[in-house]
């Protein structure tokens, strides 16, 4: 009788442990799936704003702004060779994706020029927080990638006006 109770207990304990492993395995699988997904559209839009829109930007603030915002080459801590800041509001830049722009390859080009500051790296090979840039103000049309009427990637400034 004791042997039968012991067997029943071990069997029940084993069943409970096996059943508990299933939700854990599902949770791990779900976590892996979620973490392996690319940035959501909203994340890419926020990154675009952080990297490229600054209405108060000036040519002598490249080092401070780029380092403060942690702007680097995608997926690394290496300094970007060039980063362009659009001196405008998010609304004006978003309008390019909402009909105020024209097709430009797989991008959308602004129909009006924007003031920009182009920050070029002076100390090639440097790492984040040690990036040193030379800023140059300009006015140019801009080409951006739009997804669902939101800017998500700055491609280039084109046709310098001044």
Q: What is the pLDDT of residues 3-44, one digit of tens each?
A: 454 455 555 545 545 554 555 443 434 344 334 345 698 999
Looking at the 3D structure of the chain, how many domains does it have? 2
Residue 25 and residue 72 in one domain? no
pTM: predicted TM-score of the whole model, two decimal places: 0.73
Q: Rounded CA gap, 55 and 87, in Å?
A: 4
Q: What is the pLDDT of residues 38-78, one digit of tens each?
A: 569 899 999 999 999 999 999 999 999 999 999 999 888 89
Q: How many CB atoms lie within 10 A of CB 36?
A: 7
Residue 51 and residue 126 in one domain? yes
Residue 68 and residue 136 in one domain? yes
Which residues sit opposite 121 in a β-bridge?
133
Which residues are catalytic, by number?
A: 52, 153
Q: What is the 3-state secondary structure (H, E, C) of 30-42?
A: HHHHHHCCCCCHH
């Amino acid at each position: 009788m004791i042997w039968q109770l012991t067997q029943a207990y071990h069997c029940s304990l084993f069943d409970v442990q096996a059943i508990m492993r299933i939700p854990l395995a599902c949770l791990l699988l779900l976590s892996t799936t979620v973490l392996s997904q690319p940035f959501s559209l909203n994340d890419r839009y926020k990154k675009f704003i952080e990297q490229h829109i600054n209405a108060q930007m000036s040519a002598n603030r490249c080092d401070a702004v780029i380092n403060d915002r942690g702007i680097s080459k995608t997926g690394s801590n290496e300094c970007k060779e060039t980063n362009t800041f659009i001196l405008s509001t998010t609304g004006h830049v978003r309008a390019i994706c909402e009909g105020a722009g024209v097709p430009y390859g797989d991008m959308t080009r602004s129909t009006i020029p924007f003031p920009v500051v182009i920050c070029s790296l002076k100390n090639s090979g440097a790492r984040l927080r040690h990036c040193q840039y030379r800023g140059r103000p300009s006015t140019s049309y801009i080409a951006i990638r739009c997804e669902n009427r939101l800017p998500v990637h700055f491609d280039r400034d084109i046709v310098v006006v001044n």
